[in-house]
Structure 1
């Protein structure tokens, strides 16, 4: 019985340790939201937590052959459904009464197909190979402020996500006159794998962001802004404290960032009611050289270097930190802690009623005003953001001729 219990404990700990490390592309693309009625001007959905949440929402069906953008909840047709206005259909095929997937990125496709911004498909040479990326240069003919193209924003998506996560902020960055580079990193779909084909939670992925900075510098960049969502926020933080080009990083913007991986892992293990011994064993497997071999990691994870205290001691860049208070994926506590430790550098912006990395969706105008105001101050830009019509790209904008429903 002792041997059996020890074996089960070890097996459970190994599964727990591997869960956040195995790449999971399309993690948020499940079709699990029932559509109950489709009208020319509105859609009725089951009143799930996601469907009933305030803010904007997009739905996909048939793998992206159908993509629609919906406005905030405007009614309850029945006790179990909510109504949302149908703002736009980005595909010829229309939404039907069946289950749909939620696209939290709201926009689909590329900056070219979603926003009409000229987009170059480029490759960043990282230590593990060529990483595909989107390069969007500011165009004064499309409303971009001139003379700022040498400030580059490096945009880093989250765990199980794609570079499409950046589609919500690219129009604003373009309007400010910044060059945007939305990158991929090791183990992404279409990108090379690491030696162990496992996520390292930012411990190793920051090297791909460093390669993106060097790509930007080779093409005329003089200042860099790091923008990261979720695990991308963790990658941005690690890059900001380890980069050889720290003096050129002018600002950091974080959206629901993974500031403390130990806290995140313990939070989810506790939610699963995992025994304390199993949690401790899983953490040992991730952080020790012997344990790393048991979960097939090429090297142990330096999670002790990914905490609010560590970043507080090493952070030198002005940082805008958004965090959804309803975040059940990455709890906001460590973000709040980092801001408390470094109030001189970190501006913490909590968003009520938003889920993980959905602050823009909750209130696009407020999100973009805060982001634009921060960048104008930190980058010393000659802009009066208060006179702008925000969000820069209207959520109800008509689809472009090339619009698609795919998450690329």
Structure 2
């Protein structure tokens, strides 16, 4: 009989190894256990690190990538339209005190609404219909709120002669509105060589300046509402990314060059949100610092690290992810990971840095209910430099909506400040505000577009 040696010899195949492993004492098997443990841990670590990196990259790119498509998204529901009022679904946007405007059809419909005056039902609010700026009427449908309140251009909204000019910046031709003070339209004489450079915010547009241009015009100042790189209608930067003011200040510097070449002697920088941060950075780095006489800041981005951490925390991002995202934005190696051509100088955009280097008188408005750019860094900057900064906290207003909360109070504070700092004639400061009645009927040729 043939003897099957494989049945009595220690197994060499998979089955034999399994049998052998079962009979090894635990101490003899620990290298094998460690090998599997290390392999599993390495896999989990690689997976976690990969997810952390991907999350940080997304977080870092969010404020850098222009998102123009978000401008037209409806955020208000119209429930009823009457001849003198509009009923809207109750929401943080519609229920906030102050003025509100809305558009439909991308601007084919544009209306101006007054403060909340009632609650027709538990879920709706009522606002008076102040004016309709377009031929088409508001419909019961979804609509888009317009925080700028006015639409179109300074000419179509306010009847102020407006020139479309081009500012030559390091990245190309930047379109801008030029509004010269015209005595035939109520402008005071004697200050046309003082130019206000108006700088809109992140993802915003020149129309943001429409709320203050009538006042500046009445005071006799020349207004230049600019665009900057990556705006609609303006050239893109080399990486097609926002630099949060780190590079955009160069476009404001180009606007100052334009103003000085066309008769300006004094410059006032006016900025909203990121535009306020751009104004601050320009005031520190400009070759024409001696020509800048004042800054007007509205909910400015004083501290980008604080802003980014605030929003990341709201999204419940882990601390390590927040740190990695900031590293990607501020280091050369990290910048390449988010497709920035150069790292951002966020360390130069903080209250401490501005407080150390700022030399220009500054009027700083900030909305206390701001959930986009938290007000604490503005308060901190003002506290560090009370000698040159006047801080105006505005209760009940959301981001860059201080004018909307109370146009008369906003314009009075701004007018008094400019009269004092620019040493304008006293009678100029006694103008009636708001200069432009929010309920004034639409001008012939008015449009509902956001420009």
When the two structures are superposed, what TM-score results if normalisation uses the length of structure 2? Answer: 0.90
Deviation per CA, 1:333-361, whole angstroms, max 9, x where unpaired? 00000000000011010000000000000
Deviation per CA, 1:58-87, whole angstroms, max 9, x where unpaired? 000000000000000011111111110000
Deviation at residue 28 of structure 1 after TM alignment = 4.1
Partner of 2:208: 165
Q: Is the 8 A contact 2:219 2:428 kept in 1?
A: no
Q: Is the 8 A contact 1:26 1:161 kept in 2?
A: no
Length, aligned pairs only: 408
Distance of 1:153 and 1:40 partners within structure 2 = 39
Q: Does 1:53 align with 2:96?
A: yes
Give 5+ residue unaligned stretches, structure 2.
1-43
Distance of 1:202 and 1:6 partners within structure 2 = 31
Q: Is the 8 A contact 1:225 1:253 kept in 2?
A: yes
SS in 2 for 1:347: strand
Q: Is the 8 A contact 1:27 1:161 kept in 2?
A: no
Partner of 1:22: 65
Partner of 2:76: 33
Query: 1:29-108 counterparts in 2 under 5 A?
Result: 29-108=72-151
Deviation at residue 2 of structure 1 after TM alignment = 1.2
SS in 2 for 1:108: coil
Deviation per CA, 1:239-288, whole angstroms, max 9, x where unpaired? 00110000000000000000000000000000000001100000000000
Q: Does 1:225 align with 2:271?
A: no
Query: 1:164-313 counterparts in 2 under 5 A?
Result: 164-313=207-356
Give the one of 122, 125, 132 matched to 2:165. 122
Deviation at residue 26 of structure 1 after TM alignment = 5.2
Q: Is the 8 A contact 2:415 2:429 kept in 1?
A: no
Partner of 1:346: 389
Q: Is the 8 A contact 1:369 1:385 kept in 2?
A: no
Partner of 2:442: 399
Structure 1 consecutive aligned stretches of length 4 or more whose deviation exceeds 6 Å:
none
Partner of 2:6: none
Rg (Cα) greater in structure: 2
Q: Greater share of helix residues, 1 or 2? A: 2
Distance of 2:279 and 2:200 partners within structure 1 = 10
Deviation per CA, 1:211-241, whole angstroms, max 9, x where unpaired? 0000000000000000000000000000001
Distance of 2:61 and 2:183 partners within structure 1 = 47
Partner of 1:139: 182
Q: Is the 8 A contact 2:172 2:235 kept in 1?
A: yes
Deviation at residue 30 of structure 1 after TM alignment = 1.7
Distance of 1:248 and 1:184 partners within structure 2 = 21
Q: Is the 8 A contact 2:419 2:429 kept in 1?
A: no
Q: Is the 8 A contact 1:29 1:102 kept in 2?
A: no
Distance of 1:387 and 1:161 partners within structure 2 = 32
Deviation at residue 25 of structure 1 after TM alignment = 2.2
When the two structures are superposed, what TM-score results if normalisation uses the length of structure 1? Answer: 0.99
Q: Is the 8 A contact 1:202 1:231 kept in 2?
A: yes
Deviation per CA, 1:101-158, whole angstroms, max 9, x where unpaired? 0000000000010000000000000000000000000000110001211000000000
Query: 1:358-377 counterparts in 2 under 5 A?
Result: 358-377=401-420
Deviation at residue 386 of structure 1 after TM alignment = 6.0
Deviation at residue 100 of structure 1 after TM alignment = 0.6
Deviation per CA, 1:40-67, whole angstroms, max 9, x where unpaired? 0000001101100000000000000000
Q: Is the 8 A contact 2:152 2:447 kept in 1?
A: yes
Give the one of 360, 372, 382 matched to 2:425. 382
